[in-house]
Amino acid sequence: MYEFANLPQSDTGLSVNIWIDDSGFERSNKHSPYRIKFQNNTNPNIRQSDLIPMSISDNPEILVKGSHLSKVNMKIAKEVFEFVKKYHNELRDVVDKKISLIGFGKIMDKDKEQLNG
C-alpha cells in the first residue's frame, strides 16, 4: 500500500477511501493494468486485506476472481465503479504523471462546484 497514494472519502465524495498507483509500482509489471484499490468496507481501521483492485477504464473491472469475488461488497464496488468510469482519463493521467493528485483534486472540486450551482 506504500506505493499507492490515498484519495480519502472527503476528497472523492465516496463512502470509502481509494488508493491509486501514482508511483507506477503496479505498472512495472506489463500484465498489470492501470488500477486503483478501494476499501471493501467503511471500517475506519483499514487493513491491506480489505482492499480490492479495480481497473481504471471507461468500463472498470474488479480484478479478483473466484472465491475472493464473493467477498466484494457490491454496493461499494458499484459506487467506486461509477467514480472510476467518470474520472478514468484523469486517473490514468495521475498514474502517468501528467497531472498530480492535487491537480486531480482540483478537477473533482470544480465538478462539485458545478453540481452545486
User: What are 76-105's pLDDT values in tens digits?
Assistant: 999 999 999 999 999 999 988 899 999 999
- What letter represents residue 91's amino acid? L
pLDDT recorded at residue 15 = 93
pTM of the model: 0.86
Q: Which is more confident, 56 or 68?
A: 56
Q: Is 114 exposed, middle or buried (0-12, 13-18, 19+ CB in 10 A)?
A: exposed
Q: Is 97 exposed, middle or buried (0-12, 13-18, 19+ CB in 10 A)?
A: exposed
Q: Which domain holds residue 54?
A: 5-116
The count of domains in the chain is 1
User: Is the distance from CB of 36 to CB of 8 less than 8 angstroms?
Assistant: no
**Residue 80 DSSP SS3:** helix
Q: What is the pLDDT of residues 37-63, one digit of tens each?
A: 999 998 888 888 889 999 999 999 999
pLDDT recorded at residue 88 = 96
Q: Which is more confident, 48 or 31?
A: 48
